[in-house]
Amino acid sequence: MARESAKRRALRARSRVPLAPILGKGLGFASPWLVGLILFTLYPIAASVIYSFTDYSVLSAPRWVGLNNFSEIAGDEVFWISLKNALLYALFAIPLGLIVSLVIALLLDFKVKGVGIYRTLFFLPSVTPLVASAIIWLWIFNSQFGVLNFMLSKVTFGLVRDIGWLSDTRYSMSALILMSMWGVGHTIVILLAALQDVPVSLYEAADMDGASWWQKVRHVTLPLISPVIYFNVIMSIIGALQVFAVPYIMTSGGPARSTLFYAMYLYDNAFQFLRMGYACAMAWILFLIILALTSISVKLSKAHVYYVN
C-alpha cells in the first residue's frame, strides 16, 4: 500500500514537468551515439546473426542456407586447429603475463629513486605500433642472424643454436607467447596503481602477527588486488582470443598452421575466401566462447576475489 502511493506520488511529480523538451534535450545531446549505436553496432550485430545462416560473398546477395555454416564448422579441421591455437596461447600467455607484471609491479612499488623512469621503460612497448613490434621481433627471432639465437648460443656455450623460432612448429607458438610478455606494460601500470591502494595498516597488523614478506604478499596484497587481477584476466581472455595482427604479420599462421589463430582464420574466410556467412558464424561461436569463459571466471571469482565493500 505504502509503496503504491509513493509510486503514484512520484509519477505525479514527474508529470508536472513537460516530457517532450526533456526527452528532446537528452536525445539531442545523445544523438551522435544514437546514430552510431544503430549504424555501427546494432545493425551490424543483427545483420551478422542473419549472415551467419547464409552463404554470402559480399559481391552478391546473401542466400539462406540454414544451419549449414555451423554444421560445416563442426567438421572443419582448420577451425578446430585455429581454436586450439588461440586457447593454447591464452592458457600460457595470460598467466605468464600476469606473473611477470606482478613481479615488476612489486619491484616498482618499492619507490626507489627513478621509479618513474623504470615505469616508463616497462610501458614503452605497450604504445609501440603492433606492426613495428612484429617487425622488430621478426628480426630478433631470425634463425640465421637473429640476436636471440646468438645470445642463447653464448650462454649455453654453443649447445643451443640455430633455433627456427618462427619456422619450426615446435617453437613458433612459444615464440609468440614469449613476445607477448613484451607488451604487459598496461597490466604493470594497473597492478601498480592497485598495489599503491593497499593501506599500510593491514601490513602493520600482519607485522604484529609476525608474518613474513611472502605471507604478506599471499594473504594481504593478493586478496586486496584480486578484483584488479580478475578484471585483467577477463580483458586478457577477450583479447587473447582475438589476436590477429602479430601472427598475421610474422608467420601468416605458419609453419603448418601452428600459429593460425581463430581471428586469422575468420579473417581469411571473410576476406580471402569471401565466405562472409561462414565468418559471421565463426564470430558468433567466438562470442559464445568468450561468454562461457567470462561466466566461468565470474563463478570462480566469487570464491577467490575479495571485494572490500
Partner 1 sequence: MSIAGSPFGNLLKRKWWATPLVHALLVAGSTVFLFPMLWMISTSLKPIDQTMAFPPKWLPEPFQWRNYVDAVNYIPFLQYTINTLMVSGFGIIGAVASNALVAYSFARLSWPGRDWLFGLTLATMMIPFPVVMVPLYSVFRELGWIGTLAPLIVPAYFGSAFNIFLLRQFFLRVPKDMAEAATLDGASEFRIFWSIYVPLAKPALAVVALFHFIWAWNDFLGPLLYLTDQSTYTLSLGLQFYQSQHGGTQWHLLMAASTLTVLPVIAIFFLTQRTFLRGITFLKNVDVN
Q: Residue 296 interacts with partner 1 (CB under 8 A)?
A: no
Considering only the stretches 3-11, 68-76, 89-97, 189-197, report the one whose residues sit in contact with partner 1 under the rule CB under 8 A.
189-197
* Pattern 192-211, partner 1, x by CB under 8 A: -xxxxxxxxxxxx--x----
Query: Shortest Cβ distance from residue 75 to partner 1 (Å)?
Result: 21
Pick from 118, 167, 223, 254: which binds partner 1 (CB under 8 A)?
118
Restricting to residues 88-107, which ones interact with partner 1 according to CB under 8 A?
A: 104, 106-107
Write out 96-130 in H/E/C secondary structure.
Answer: HHHHHHHHHHHHHCCCCCCHHHHHHHHHHHHHCCH
Q: Residue 157 interacts with partner 1 (CB under 8 A)?
A: no
Restricting to residues 233-252, which ones interact with partner 1 according to CB under 8 A?
A: 234, 238, 241-242, 244-245, 249
Residue whose C-alpha is closest to residue 253's, from 72, 84, 71 = 84
Pick from 70, 152, 167, 216: which binds partner 1 (CB under 8 A)?
216
**Cα–Cα dist 163/249, whole Å:** 20
Pick from 64, 80, 150, 273: which binds partner 1 (CB under 8 A)?
150
Pick from 6, 10, 91, 131: which binds partner 1 (CB under 8 A)?
131
Query: Shortest Cβ distance from residue 222 to partner 1 (Å)?
Result: 9
- Render the burial of 79-111: b for 16+ CB within 10 Å, e for the rest: bebbbebbbebbebbbeebbebbbebbeebbee
Closer residue to partner 1, CB minimum distance, 88 or 100 = 100
Q: Residue 260 interacts with partner 1 (CB under 8 A)?
A: no
Q: Residue 189 interacts with partner 1 (CB under 8 A)?
A: yes
- Render the burial of 262-299: b for 16+ CB within 10 Å, e for the rest: bbbbbebbbeeeebbbbbbbbbbbbeebeeebeeebee
Q: Residue 130 interacts with partner 1 (CB under 8 A)?
A: yes
**Cα–Cα dist 20/24, whole Å:** 6
> What are the φ and ψ backbone dihedral angles of 21, each rounded to 5 degrees?
-60, -35
* Pattern 55-84, partner 1, x by CB under 8 A: -x-x--------------------------
Q: Residue 279 interacts with partner 1 (CB under 8 A)?
A: yes
Q: Which three cell numbers stand for residue 204?
A: 602493520
Non-local (6+) Cβ contacts of 172 within 8 A are 165, 166, 251, 254, 255, 258, 259
